[in-house]
Amino acid sequence: MLPPSSTHLAEFEISSRNGFLPDQPPLQKLDDTYYASWEAIIGDLPGLLNSSSLRNEVDHLPILSTSRLRSEREWQRAYLILSFVTHAYIWEAPGPSERLPPSISVPFLKVSSHLQLPPTATYAALSLWNFKSSNTDCDLSRIEDLQVLHTFTGTQDEEWFYLISVAIEAQGAEAIPLMLNAIDAVESDNSPMVIAALKEFSYLIRKISLLLKRMHEKCSPEIFYNEIRPYFAGSKNMGLAGLPNGVFYDEGEGNGQWQQYSGGSNAQSSLIQFFDIVLGVEHFDVKGTKGSKHGFLRQMRSYMPGPHCSFLEHLESIANIRAYAEQTAVPEVTEAYNFAVKELESFRDIHIQIVARYIIMPSRQHVSTGHRGVNLAIASANPDVRKDLHGTGGTELMPFLRQSRDETRAAALS
């Protein structure tokens, strides 16, 4: 048994049990009746979008103060609500809105600042803080025990899409203390413990891959592409979807700014970037610059809760496993390291296959007429832009994913 790691997870608001998921279940409602109008909107979101009446409802909302939010769970609940309503407002049919009204912009900017997150629907809002569990043992990796709190479409498909991410985060949670202990074991040159940790880590990634493979069970590619994914889109690189200038965050009385933000993306998962850092996988930007602050994955850290981003920066300063595996005279360490790299590469291969099935293939087929007007699905189906298909995070989709997979493979040692 390894001793406790020298890195204290609580300092970075990371749960020793649930990892980057909250230690306590997310709030299902803001109890203060002052926020009842917010709760009414989010509670009927699919219905309002289906009747194209969401914008009208939001335009009549008062500008609520954030001063009555007390606990972090309340701030996170407010962020979830405002994230969903923001993207619903922007992408409601028949076409995108280039303006976000003060009733949303003003509180969203304050809530986002408190949580050190951008005012857009991030992975944290859509997945990390958007679930409940019927499991009294708090085992969040059992996907059958999970439910989401909110969706845009009210479909089982959207719920399942989020739950796969929640289950992956829960399954991967034990990798965090495990690999921090492995980093400490390197410092004491305890090769048996490093080997054991790397092997266990590899099997955890394999379990995560199996969870990812379950996406098809309850999520239809056609429904995902045509009905769900358009709401994930941000305001960055979305000119062809109808937002050439991004979105104007109207703060009232002539104040406000044009903003361009990435939308929700799995690249905003701190867990996946944790895997890369502990294994020493190096990613490059499009110009081939290692670790560039302008690289897409580096940019995505600003879309993570502030403490989680700080944790990844701390981790980069202490990561030592790849160097140890490269320099050690114990071949079993190198073999265990390469085994872990191979499993992470396989995980990324599965991700590429899912993107091909859920985005690339549907983009080549007839787009459903169920969602009227301009959105990401319709823009992506245009043959003139399909070859440069962008993800909801705003980056070119398949080139980015293939490069990430290839860079993972390149980390293996001879």
Cite the annotated binding site for heme b by residue number: 351
Structure-block tokens of residue 271:
């867990």
Q: Give the integer Cα–Cα distance in Å for 176 and 16.
A: 8
Task: For Cα atoms 72, 77, 83, give the angle at the middle one, nearest 5 degrees.
Answer: 125
Q: H helices within 5-101, ranges in order?
A: 36-43, 45-50, 54-59, 72-91
Q: Give the integer Cα–Cα distance in Å for 255 and 50.
A: 31
**What region, left, alpha or beta, does residue 2 occupy, with left being phi > 0 and alpha being psi -120 to 50 degrees?**
beta
| Residue 236 to residues 48, 79, 263, 366, 397, Cα–Cα distance (Å) | 25, 20, 8, 25, 14
Task: For Cα atoms 261, 278, 164, give the angle at the middle one, nearest 5 degrees.
Answer: 55
Cβ atoms of residues 107 and 63 within 8 Å:
yes
Cβ atoms of residues 116 and 306 within 8 Å:
yes
Q: Which residues are annotated as a binding site?
A: 351
Q: Give the integer Cα–Cα distance in Å for 362 and 230.
A: 13
Residue 403: its H or E element: helix 397-410
- Least Cα distance to 76 among 117, 44, 41 occurs for 117
- Least Cα distance to 60 among 102, 91, 24, 19 occurs for 102
User: Quick one: CA dihedral 86, 259, 397, 351, positive or negative?
Assistant: negative
**332 burial type by CB count under 10 A (0-12 exposed, 13-18 middle, 19+ buried):** middle
Structure-block tokens of residue 253:
């009385």
Q: Give the integer Cα–Cα distance in Å for 391 and 270.
A: 18
